[in-house]
């Protein structure tokens, strides 16, 4: 009977140097309640913040102990203390911010950009090009990769405890809070929520050959969109199939019926089975994600490791931390902009698939964008 190492590698590496000066761009929820909370807990050095309105930046600075508020992005970039720029703006504005940041490549060493990196894969390529030409490390805040159950599963896969992956699924029945900036985009779930799941499938298993996607509007969401409820299948050359149901309606849970809110994942392999839950739908109540697995290497047991950390906000120390490691070691970030182009391409492929009712390959998007 094989020995199992149950000390799962579910936490991100800590950067050897934590005192790079971080300048924050944007002061909304994701910055105020996730980034800055996680950075303070991790011991990262935030030197200042700017936002579209100074009042918003000042409020966030007061609540999170940020020492400096800048009136403009230009003022932030002029501060010699800023070595890392943490961007939390809507996707239509991100390219413009990056264009300004790369003008300061003599001092700025790294950028953490939000997901989605841009409005589409073609625009994301431009963001990546600008950073590579400037010599600035670019990481994309694909923070679900740092959910504890997601990383623990990756550890199981890497150790071979599940054998060859056969089938993987994610089922999301949750009601997100849509930010006002998305109202005029004409799209919704695939690029804001499904992008997490598509990126996790890539993190776990690598790149699929193609995707088939079907969508319909969410009956509750009143602004124009087609992709409220999204069903998709990823096909891998190995025979592996991944599928997700991303349902941001979940039935009339806001209209009088009882709710049934959750996110679950499941992976079946030739040597084992793992399933888990994602605690995020219970935010702001801190609820750890979970993992359960069984393996032929130790028959007769269900293993149920647990932890205290949660996705929101603890995972955000991982997204910034891996960028700081890359800057310190002069290496590619784990969630680099270059890697993220494949996640962006997968999202664009899903939209094309839904529109044209056919399977679409990543190459078709990457070569055409």
Instruction: Calculate the CA dihedral of residues 317, 22, 132, 340 and round it to 10 degrees.
Output: 30
Q: What is the pLDDT of residue 2?
A: 60
Q: What is the pLDDT of residue 1?
A: 45
Query: Whole-model pTM?
Result: 0.96
74 CB-side CA count, 13 A = 0
339 three-state secondary structure: helix
Q: What is the pLDDT of residue 343?
A: 98
Reading the block at residue 302, the tokens are 């269900």
Q: Which of 104, 58, 55 is nearest to 81 (CA)?
A: 104
Helical residues (DSSP H) of the chain, grouped into ranges: 29, 36-42, 54-64, 73-78, 91-101, 121-134, 148-159, 189, 195-205, 315-329, 337-356, 362-368
Predicted confidence (pLDDT) per residue in 45-104, tens digit: 999 999 999 999 999 999 999 999 999 999 999 999 999 999 999 999 999 999 999 999
Does residue 37 register a pLDDT over 90?
yes
Q: Which of 222, 216, 224, 275 is nearest to 247 (CA)?
A: 216
Q: What is the mean pLDDT of residues 130-146?
A: 98
Instruction: Go through the domains of the chain in sequence order and give each one's CATH number.
Output: 21-143+318-335 (3.40.50.720), 148-310+344-360 (3.30.360.10)
* CA 41 to chain centroid: 20
Predicted confidence (pLDDT) per residue in 244-298, tens digit: 999 999 999 999 999 999 999 999 999 999 999 999 999 999 999 999 999 999 9
What's the mean pLDDT when you consider all of the chain? 97
Q: How far apart are CA 311 and CA 304, in angstroms?
A: 18
Between 197 and 3, whose confidence is greater?
197
Beta partners for residue 342, in sequence order: none
Q: How far apart are CA 221 and CA 286, in angstroms?
A: 27
Would you say 86 and 320 are in contact if contact means Cβ atoms under 8 Å apart?
yes
Would you say 239 and 269 are in contact if contact means Cβ atoms under 8 Å apart?
no
Beta partners for residue 242, in sequence order: 168, 234
Q: How far apart are CA 91 and CA 309, in angstroms?
A: 28
Predicted confidence (pLDDT) per residue in 294-345, tens digit: 999 999 999 999 999 999 999 999 999 999 999 999 999 999 999 999 999 9
Phi/psi-derived region of residue 347, left when phi > 0, alpha when psi is between -120 and 50, beta in every other case = alpha
Strand pairing class (165-173; 137-140): unpaired
Q: Which of 88, 109, 101 is nearest to 21 (CA)?
A: 109
Would you say 352 and 204 are in contact if contact means Cβ atoms under 8 Å apart?
no
Would you say 82 and 48 are in contact if contact means Cβ atoms under 8 Å apart?
yes
Does residue 195 register a pLDDT over 90?
yes
Q: Which residues contact 6 (CB under 8 A, 6 or more apart)?
A: 303, 305
Q: What is the pLDDT of residue 26?
A: 98
Euclidean distance between the first and the last CA atom of the chain, given in angstroms as a whole number: 51
Predicted confidence (pLDDT) per residue in 101-134, tens digit: 999 999 999 999 999 999 999 999 999 999 999 9
């Amino acid at each position: 009977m094989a020995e199992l190492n149950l000390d799962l590698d579910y936490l991100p590496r800590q950067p050897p140097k934590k005192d790079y000066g971080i300048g924050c761009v944007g002061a909304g929820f994701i910055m105020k309640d996730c980034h800055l909370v996680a950075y303070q807990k991790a011991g990262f050095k935030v030197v200042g913040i700017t936002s579209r309105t100074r009042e918003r930046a000042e409020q966030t600075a007061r609540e999170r102990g940020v020492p400096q508020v800048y009136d403009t992005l230009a003022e932030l970039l002029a501060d010699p203390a800023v070595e890392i720029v943490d961007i939390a703006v809507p996707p239509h504005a991100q390219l413009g911010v990056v264009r300004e940041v790369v003008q300061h490549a003599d001092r700025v060493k790294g950028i953490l950009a939000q997901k989605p990196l841009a409005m589409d894969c073609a625009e994301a390529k431009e963001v990546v090009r600008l950073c590579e030409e400037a010599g600035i490390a670019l990481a994309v805040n694909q923070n679900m990769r740092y959910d504890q159950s997601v990383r623990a599963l990756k550890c199981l896969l890497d150790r071979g405890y599940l054998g060859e992956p056969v089938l993987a699924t994610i089922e999301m029945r949750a009601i997100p809070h849509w930010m006002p900036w998305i109202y005029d985009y004409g799209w919704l779930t695939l690029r804001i929520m499904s992008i997490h799941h598509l990126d996790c499938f890539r993190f776990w298993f690598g790149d699929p050959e193609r995707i088939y996607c079907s969508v319909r509007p969410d009956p509750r969401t009143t602004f124009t969109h087609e992709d409220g409820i999204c069903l998709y299948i990823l096909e891998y050359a190995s025979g592996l199939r991944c599928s997700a149901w991303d349902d941001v309606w979940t039935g009339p849970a806001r209209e009088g019926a009882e709710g049934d809110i959750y996110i679950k994942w499941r992976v079946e392999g030739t040597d084992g089975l793992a399933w888990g839950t994602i605690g995020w739908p219970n935010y702001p109540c801190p609820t750890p994600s979970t993992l359960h697995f069984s393996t032929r290497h130790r028959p007769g047991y269900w293993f149920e490791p647990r932890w205290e950390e949660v996705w929101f906000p603890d995972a955000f120390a991982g997204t910034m931390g891996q960028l700081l490691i890359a800057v310190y070691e002069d290496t590619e970030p784990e969630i680099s902009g270059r890697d993220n182009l494949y996640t962006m391409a997968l999202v664009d492929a899903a939209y094309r698939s839904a529109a044209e009712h056919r399977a679409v390959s990543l190459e078709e998007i990457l070569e055409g964008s």
